[in-house]
Amino acid sequence: MSGELAKLLSDLKEPEALEFVEKALGEGVDPMQLLGDAKEGMNIVGERFASQDYFIPDLVFSGEILKGIVNMLKPHLKKGAEPERIGKIVIGTVAGDIHDIGKDLVVFMLDVNGFEALDLGIDVPVEKFVDAIKASGSTVVGLSGFLTLAFDSMKDTIDAIKDAGLRDQVKIMIGGGQINDEVKSYVGADAYGRDAVEAVKLAQGWIGG
């Protein structure tokens, strides 16, 4: 039976996947195993996204199916059963910019892949990033931005991280509509990721997992 839920989820069969979970729970299948299968399904989705068989609609919809599955499993999961997170990542849309679709996808994919994404939201002031790094001890920071004004906000944010003496402690990745490698050099980031799956790969490269 193992693997079937992963297949249903990764093939984006929403009613079938939810039905499967309901039935399995009724038959006494360990909810942790079902959660594991669902995560396996999300890994397949991620792979298909990376190989350009899946695109943003598929990724977003898979997230909705997963949410439905997790909601069904939640009452059956023991408290504290959440697996340990592999690392903390501070992430947000930089000052002046309120675009969140891309950033939210990155947060979601980091979460699915076992990271603890500390989402600071949108239009995040420079100091808030610095404070969050200090408070959390994060070693990876993600800066998102869609507008040309975000280039300077990213630069200001990274400069502030430098001034706070934290630059050596963190790896910084950036992303967003007009972001490319030139912007990466301009703002002084460590890497640019073109989509949510690349962000996960960058985080895995830096933290492991």
* Contacts of residue 129, Cβ cutoff 8 Å, sequence gap at least 6: 90, 92, 120, 141, 143, 157, 160, 161
Residue 60 or 81: which CB sits closer to another protein? Answer: 60
4 near another protein, rule: CB under 8 A:
no
Residue 89 or 197: which CB sits closer to another protein? Answer: 197
Subset of residues 18 to 77 that bind another protein, contact rule: CB under 8 A:
53-58, 60-61, 64
Of 1, 81, 98, 135, the one binding another protein by CB under 8 A: 98
Residue 33 or 186: which CB sits closer to another protein? Answer: 186
133 near another protein, rule: CB under 8 A:
no
Tokens 């950036």 correspond to 174
Residue 59 or 117: which CB sits closer to another protein? Answer: 59
189 near another protein, rule: CB under 8 A:
no
CB of 167 to another protein, least distance (A): 21
Residue 71 or 180: which CB sits closer to another protein? Answer: 180
Helix/strand/coil (H, E, C) string of the chain? CCCHHHHHHHCCCHHHHHHHHHHHHHCCCCHHHHHHHHHHHHHHHHHHHHCCCCCHHHHHHHHHHHHHHHHHHHHHCCCCCCCCCCCEEEEEEECCCCCCHHHHHHHHHHHHCCCEEEECCCCECHHHHHHHHHHHCCCEEEEECCCCHHHHHHHHHHHHHHHCCCHHHCEEEEECCCCCHHHHHHHCCCEECCCHHHHHHHHHHHHCC
Residue 19 or 182: which CB sits closer to another protein? Answer: 182
Taking CB under 8 A as the binding criterion, the range among 38-46, 74-82, 148-156, 161-169 that sits at the site for another protein is 148-156
101 near another protein, rule: CB under 8 A:
yes
Q: Catalog residues that contact another protein under the rule CB under 8 A.
A: 12, 14, 53-58, 60-61, 64, 96-99, 101, 123, 147-149, 151-152, 177-180, 182-183, 186, 194-195
